[in-house]
Protein backbone atom coordinates (compact mmCIF):
# COMPACT_ATOMS: atom_id res chain seq x y z
CA UNK A 1 0.00 0.00 0.00
CA UNK A 2 1.41 3.38 -1.03
CA UNK A 3 1.16 5.95 1.76
CA UNK A 4 -0.34 9.31 0.80
CA UNK A 5 2.19 12.06 0.18
CA UNK A 6 2.43 14.63 2.97
CA UNK A 7 3.00 18.38 2.55
CA UNK A 8 3.56 21.10 5.15
CA UNK A 9 2.77 24.69 4.12
CA UNK A 10 3.53 27.70 6.31
CA UNK A 11 1.53 30.90 5.95
CA UNK A 12 -1.41 28.71 4.98
CA UNK A 13 -4.02 31.44 5.54
CA UNK A 14 -2.36 33.98 3.26
CA UNK A 15 -3.37 34.21 -0.38
CA UNK A 16 -0.37 32.36 -1.84
CA UNK A 17 -0.38 29.86 1.01
CA UNK A 18 -4.09 29.14 0.63
CA UNK A 19 -3.76 28.71 -3.13
CA UNK A 20 -0.81 26.39 -2.59
CA UNK A 21 -2.70 24.25 -0.09
CA UNK A 22 -5.61 23.86 -2.50
CA UNK A 23 -3.33 23.04 -5.41
CA UNK A 24 -1.43 20.40 -3.43
CA UNK A 25 -4.61 18.76 -2.16
CA UNK A 26 -5.87 18.50 -5.73
CA UNK A 27 -2.53 16.87 -6.61
CA UNK A 28 -3.17 14.20 -4.01
CA UNK A 29 -1.19 15.48 -1.02
CA UNK A 30 -2.34 15.32 2.57
CA UNK A 31 -1.74 18.97 3.50
CA UNK A 32 -0.80 20.33 6.90
CA UNK A 33 -1.20 24.09 7.15
CA UNK A 34 0.56 26.33 9.66
CA UNK A 35 -0.23 29.97 10.30
CA UNK A 36 -0.04 32.43 13.19
CA UNK A 37 -3.59 33.53 12.48
CA UNK A 38 -6.92 31.77 12.76
CA UNK A 39 -9.36 31.01 10.02
CA UNK A 40 -10.52 28.40 7.56
CA UNK A 41 -7.99 26.82 5.24
CA UNK A 42 -8.26 24.15 2.55
CA UNK A 43 -6.06 21.73 4.49
CA UNK A 44 -6.35 18.34 6.12
CA UNK A 45 -4.81 19.50 9.38
CA UNK A 46 -4.18 23.01 10.69
CA UNK A 47 -1.87 24.25 13.44
CA UNK A 48 -1.90 27.80 14.74
CA UNK A 49 1.75 28.67 15.31
CA UNK A 50 3.87 31.78 14.95
CA UNK A 51 6.95 30.38 13.26
CA UNK A 52 9.01 33.40 14.32
CA UNK A 53 9.05 31.71 17.72
CA UNK A 54 10.94 28.70 16.39
CA UNK A 55 14.18 30.61 16.87
CA UNK A 56 13.98 31.15 20.62
CA UNK A 57 10.60 30.06 22.01
CA UNK A 58 10.84 26.55 23.47
CA UNK A 59 7.06 26.19 23.45
CA UNK A 60 6.88 26.99 19.74
CA UNK A 61 9.67 24.52 19.00
CA UNK A 62 7.99 21.78 21.02
CA UNK A 63 4.75 22.32 19.09
CA UNK A 64 6.51 20.98 16.02
CA UNK A 65 5.73 17.62 17.60
CA UNK A 66 2.07 18.33 16.76
CA UNK A 67 3.08 18.66 13.12
CA UNK A 68 4.99 15.40 13.41
CA UNK A 69 1.83 13.66 14.59
CA UNK A 70 -0.15 15.03 11.65
CA UNK A 71 2.41 13.71 9.15
CA UNK A 72 2.18 10.15 10.38
CA UNK A 73 5.95 9.92 10.21
CA UNK A 74 6.28 11.03 6.60
CA UNK A 75 6.98 14.37 4.92
CA UNK A 76 7.38 14.70 1.16
CA UNK A 77 7.20 18.48 0.74
CA UNK A 78 7.92 21.49 2.93
CA UNK A 79 6.77 24.86 1.58
CA UNK A 80 8.31 27.78 3.48
CA UNK A 81 5.84 30.45 2.44
CA UNK A 82 5.12 32.48 5.59
CA UNK A 83 6.60 35.98 5.58
CA UNK A 84 6.35 39.37 7.20
CA UNK A 85 6.89 42.61 5.30
CA UNK A 86 7.82 45.72 7.26
CA UNK A 87 7.90 48.84 5.09
CA UNK A 88 9.83 51.66 6.77
CA UNK A 89 12.61 54.10 5.91
CA UNK A 90 16.08 53.13 7.11
CA UNK A 91 16.08 55.58 10.01
CA UNK A 92 12.80 54.16 11.37
CA UNK A 93 13.76 50.47 11.40
CA UNK A 94 14.11 49.08 14.91
CA UNK A 95 15.97 46.06 16.29
CA UNK A 96 12.56 44.46 16.81
CA UNK A 97 11.70 44.98 13.13
CA UNK A 98 14.88 43.22 12.06
CA UNK A 99 14.43 40.40 14.55
CA UNK A 100 10.89 39.49 13.56
CA UNK A 101 11.68 39.83 9.85
CA UNK A 102 14.72 37.56 9.92
CA UNK A 103 13.17 35.06 12.31
CA UNK A 104 10.03 34.73 10.19
CA UNK A 105 11.41 35.00 6.66
CA UNK A 106 14.74 33.17 6.99
CA UNK A 107 15.46 31.43 10.28
CA UNK A 108 12.11 29.65 10.53
CA UNK A 109 12.71 28.08 7.12
CA UNK A 110 16.02 26.69 8.38
CA UNK A 111 14.60 25.42 11.67
CA UNK A 112 11.76 23.61 9.90
CA UNK A 113 14.14 21.95 7.45
CA UNK A 114 16.36 20.90 10.34
CA UNK A 115 13.44 19.63 12.43
CA UNK A 116 11.95 17.52 9.65
CA UNK A 117 15.14 16.58 7.82
CA UNK A 118 14.96 12.92 8.77
CA UNK A 119 11.46 12.62 7.29
CA UNK A 120 12.38 14.59 4.17
CA UNK A 121 15.42 12.40 3.59
CA UNK A 122 13.45 9.23 4.11
CA UNK A 123 10.84 10.32 1.56
CA UNK A 124 13.48 11.75 -0.81
CA UNK A 125 11.36 14.87 -0.52
CA UNK A 126 11.54 18.50 -1.51
CA UNK A 127 11.64 21.95 0.03
CA UNK A 128 10.26 25.02 -1.75
CA UNK A 129 11.12 28.44 -0.33
CA UNK A 130 9.01 31.41 -1.38
CA UNK A 131 11.39 34.33 -1.91
CA UNK A 132 10.57 37.60 -3.69
CA UNK A 133 11.65 39.77 -6.58
CA UNK A 134 12.87 42.13 -3.84
CA UNK A 135 15.85 39.79 -3.48
CA UNK A 136 17.09 41.25 -6.79
CA UNK A 137 15.21 44.47 -7.54
CA UNK A 138 13.81 46.50 -4.71
CA UNK A 139 12.74 50.03 -3.81
CA UNK A 140 12.95 52.46 -0.89
CA UNK A 141 11.63 51.39 2.52
CA UNK A 142 12.02 47.65 1.82
CA UNK A 143 15.51 47.18 3.30
CA UNK A 144 14.59 44.58 5.93
CA UNK A 145 12.25 42.63 3.66
CA UNK A 146 14.58 42.64 0.67
CA UNK A 147 17.54 41.56 2.80
CA UNK A 148 15.59 38.66 4.27
CA UNK A 149 14.40 37.44 0.89
CA UNK A 150 17.94 37.61 -0.51
CA UNK A 151 19.15 35.58 2.46
CA UNK A 152 16.42 33.02 1.80
CA UNK A 153 17.78 32.49 -1.71
CA UNK A 154 21.28 31.94 -0.34
CA UNK A 155 19.86 29.50 2.20
CA UNK A 156 18.14 27.68 -0.66
CA UNK A 157 21.38 27.20 -2.57
CA UNK A 158 23.38 26.16 0.50
CA UNK A 159 20.79 23.62 1.60
CA UNK A 160 20.49 22.25 -1.94
CA UNK A 161 24.21 21.54 -2.09
CA UNK A 162 24.37 19.96 1.35
CA UNK A 163 21.20 17.90 1.24
CA UNK A 164 21.49 16.47 -2.28
CA UNK A 165 20.74 13.91 -3.53
CA UNK A 166 18.18 12.93 -0.90
CA UNK A 167 16.35 16.27 -0.55
CA UNK A 168 15.76 18.81 -3.30
CA UNK A 169 15.64 22.48 -2.30
CA UNK A 170 14.38 25.15 -4.68
CA UNK A 171 12.88 28.63 -4.52
CA UNK A 172 10.15 30.52 -6.31
CA UNK A 173 10.52 34.26 -6.85
CA UNK A 174 7.20 36.04 -7.30
CA UNK A 175 6.85 39.67 -8.27
CA UNK A 176 3.75 41.66 -7.31
CA UNK A 177 0.94 39.23 -6.56
CA UNK A 178 -2.70 39.95 -5.82
CA UNK A 179 -2.58 39.35 -2.08
CA UNK A 180 -4.01 41.12 0.93
CA UNK A 181 -0.50 42.20 1.91
CA UNK A 182 0.05 43.90 -1.45
CA UNK A 183 -3.38 45.54 -1.54
CA UNK A 184 -2.88 46.92 1.97
CA UNK A 185 0.11 48.82 0.64
CA UNK A 186 -2.10 50.47 -2.00
CA UNK A 187 -5.06 51.24 0.22
CA UNK A 188 -6.72 54.37 -1.10
CA UNK A 189 -4.54 54.31 -4.21
CA UNK A 190 -6.22 52.04 -6.78
CA UNK A 191 -4.52 53.84 -9.68
CA UNK A 192 -1.14 53.10 -8.14
CA UNK A 193 -2.00 49.41 -8.03
CA UNK A 194 -3.19 49.50 -11.63
CA UNK A 195 0.01 51.26 -12.68
CA UNK A 196 2.06 48.57 -10.94
CA UNK A 197 0.29 45.98 -13.05
CA UNK A 198 1.01 47.92 -16.24
CA UNK A 199 4.71 48.01 -15.40
CA UNK A 200 4.84 44.25 -15.85
CA UNK A 201 5.36 43.25 -19.50
CA UNK A 202 2.45 40.84 -19.02
CA UNK A 203 0.32 43.89 -18.24
CA UNK A 204 -0.89 42.80 -14.80
CA UNK A 205 0.18 41.46 -11.44
CA UNK A 206 0.18 37.74 -10.67
CA UNK A 207 -2.66 35.69 -9.30
CA UNK A 208 -1.85 33.59 -6.19
CA UNK A 209 -2.84 30.47 -8.11
CA UNK A 210 -0.07 31.14 -10.63
CA UNK A 211 2.55 31.14 -7.89
CA UNK A 212 1.01 28.03 -6.35
CA UNK A 213 1.26 26.20 -9.66
CA UNK A 214 5.04 26.69 -9.77
CA UNK A 215 5.40 25.69 -6.11
CA UNK A 216 3.48 22.49 -6.82
CA UNK A 217 5.64 21.80 -9.87
CA UNK A 218 8.86 22.17 -7.86
CA UNK A 219 7.47 19.77 -5.28
CA UNK A 220 6.55 17.16 -7.86
CA UNK A 221 8.41 14.37 -9.63
CA UNK A 222 8.29 16.48 -12.78
CA UNK A 223 11.07 18.58 -11.18
CA UNK A 224 13.08 15.56 -10.00
CA UNK A 225 16.40 16.86 -11.42
CA UNK A 226 15.97 20.39 -10.11
CA UNK A 227 17.70 21.54 -6.94
CA UNK A 228 19.30 24.86 -6.01
CA UNK A 229 17.12 26.60 -8.59
CA UNK A 230 15.32 29.92 -8.18
CA UNK A 231 12.37 30.23 -10.54
CA UNK A 232 11.08 33.73 -11.30
CA UNK A 233 7.33 34.10 -11.68
CA UNK A 234 7.37 37.82 -12.34
CA UNK A 235 5.45 38.59 -15.52
CA UNK A 236 8.71 39.71 -17.13
CA UNK A 237 9.30 42.70 -14.86
CA UNK A 238 12.69 41.35 -13.79
CA UNK A 239 13.86 41.60 -17.39
CA UNK A 240 12.58 45.11 -17.98
CA UNK A 241 14.88 48.12 -18.17
CA UNK A 242 13.25 51.06 -16.38
CA UNK A 243 14.51 53.96 -18.47
CA UNK A 244 12.54 57.22 -18.45
CA UNK A 245 11.66 56.65 -22.12
Give the catalytic positions in this structure: 145
User: 170: left (phi > 0), else alpha (psi -120 to 50), else beta?
Assistant: beta
Torsion of CA 86, 19, 232, 144, to 10 degrees: 10
Alpha helices in 132-224 (DSSP H): 143-163, 180-185, 190-199, 208-218
* Neighbouring C-beta atoms of residue 2, cutoff 10 Å: 4
Q: What span, in angstroms and rounded, lies between the C-alpha atoms of 139 and 134?
A: 8
Q: Which whole-number Å values give the CA distances from 122 to 40, 62, 73, 102, 163, in the listed order?
A: 31, 22, 10, 29, 12
* Neighbouring C-beta atoms of residue 42, cutoff 10 Å: 17
Contact at 8 Å (CB) between 130 and 171? yes
Amino acid sequence: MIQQRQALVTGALGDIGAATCSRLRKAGFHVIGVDRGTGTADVDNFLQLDIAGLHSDNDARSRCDDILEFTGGRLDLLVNNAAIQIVKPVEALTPEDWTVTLETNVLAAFWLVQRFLRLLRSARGAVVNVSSIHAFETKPHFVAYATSKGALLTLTRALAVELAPCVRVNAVIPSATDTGMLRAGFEGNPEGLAELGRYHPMGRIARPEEIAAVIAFLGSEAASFMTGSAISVDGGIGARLHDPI
